Structure 1
Amino acid sequence: MTPRLDLHHASPDIFKAWYAYSLKVAECGLEKPLLELVKIRVSQINGCANCLNMHTFDARRAGESEQRIHLLAVWREAPCYTPRERAALDWTEHMTQIATCRAPDALHEALAAQFTPAEQVQLTLAINVINGWNRLAVGFNFYAADMGWK
């Protein structure tokens, strides 16, 4: 895959602001393993190899097992996720596919049973950020290995 442009240099000011915003959202206070599961699931849905590569690595560093990472694509059928993780993953899928899935009341009620109002906003912003990164990576054929990253 050949990158279509250099994201860092094409629009440096806005890219720098986007990156800083991404880092700020990542420090929102939600559990690191949960955030990595969300990032992986969004990247699976969006078909983003770059983000899948990065966030499966980060999930392992945050203590996630290979089993839970591999079963994430079928989390509804896998018994290894907590009710909090299930609520987050369901919300994640709906927010990622909002044009077709929407955000039904029952979905939000399940989310609200597991997350405070502040955490609901933090989770939704984290979902927005990874969706944004997926769109940049997929749209511009960006893969971190192209830049010498691992």
Structure 2
Amino acid sequence: MNMQTRFNYRQANPQAYQAMLQLEKFVNESGLDKKLIELIKIRASQINGCAFCMDMHTQDARKLGETEQRIYLLSVWRESAVYTDAERAALALTEAVTLITKDGVPDALYQQVREHFDENQYTAMIMAINTINSWNRIAISTGMFAPYNR
């Protein structure tokens, strides 16, 4: 495996980078719980295989006080009792949206998420999921890797 960044996309196209930062700003100001946002980012990054984002967001989660146990168990959250029902709904939505071509977002999942989150929060979660999926795709396609090329 080549462990060199292909190119610096921030320098190559600063406008694209600024657009992504605006999405990130929206998510961070959306009112969603910061720990929940990090769980979403970590779970999507696990699915997408983005080591750079995994490294970044596990560190960010720890800074917010997230426990090692909850970070380690995130890839098997269905078999773990350490997540709340609301977090489980958000994680299921994260997986469904990240893997949207598989089954879409079934009505039952939508209803499960809406038991815990209103329409505004649901929209913010969709934006959080889409944003991290975009960051994952940028990092992977430009050859960013963890932790060597920050």
TM-score category by the smaller chain? over 0.9
Q: In the alignment, residue 82 of structure 1 is paired with which amino acid?
A: T
Counterparts of residues 1-150 of structure 1 (less than 5 Å) = 1-143=3-145, 145-147=147-149, 149=150
1:135 shift after superposition: 0.1
Structure 1 alignment gaps of length 5 or more: none
Q: How many residues align?
A: 148
Name the CA distance, whole Å, in 2 between partners of 1:4 and 1:70: 30
* Alignment partners' CA distance in 2, 1:41 and 1:21: 18
10-19 vs 70-79, greater mean Cα deviation: 10-19
Identity of aligned residues (%): 46
TM superposition shift of 1:144: 6.0
One-letter identity of the residue aligned with 2:52 = N
Q: Report 1 or 2 for greater relative contact order, CA contacts < 8 Å, sequence distance ≥ 6.
A: 2
Deviations 1:13-61 (A, max 9, x none): 2222222222222221100001000000000000000000000000001
Q: Which amino acid aligns with 1:119?
A: Q
Please give the alpha-carbon distance, in whole angstroms, between the structure 1 residues aligned to 2:142 and 2:100: 23
Tell me if structure 1 keeps the 8 A contact 2:51–2:146. Answer: no
Letter of the aligned partner of 1:41 in structure 2? R
Distance of 1:84 and 1:62 partners within structure 2: 18
Aligned residue identity for 2:92: D
CA distance in 2, matches of 1:143, 1:20: 23
Q: CA deviation at 1:101?
A: 2.4
Q: CA deviation at 1:146?
A: 4.1
**Secondary structure of residue in 1 paired with 2:144:** coil
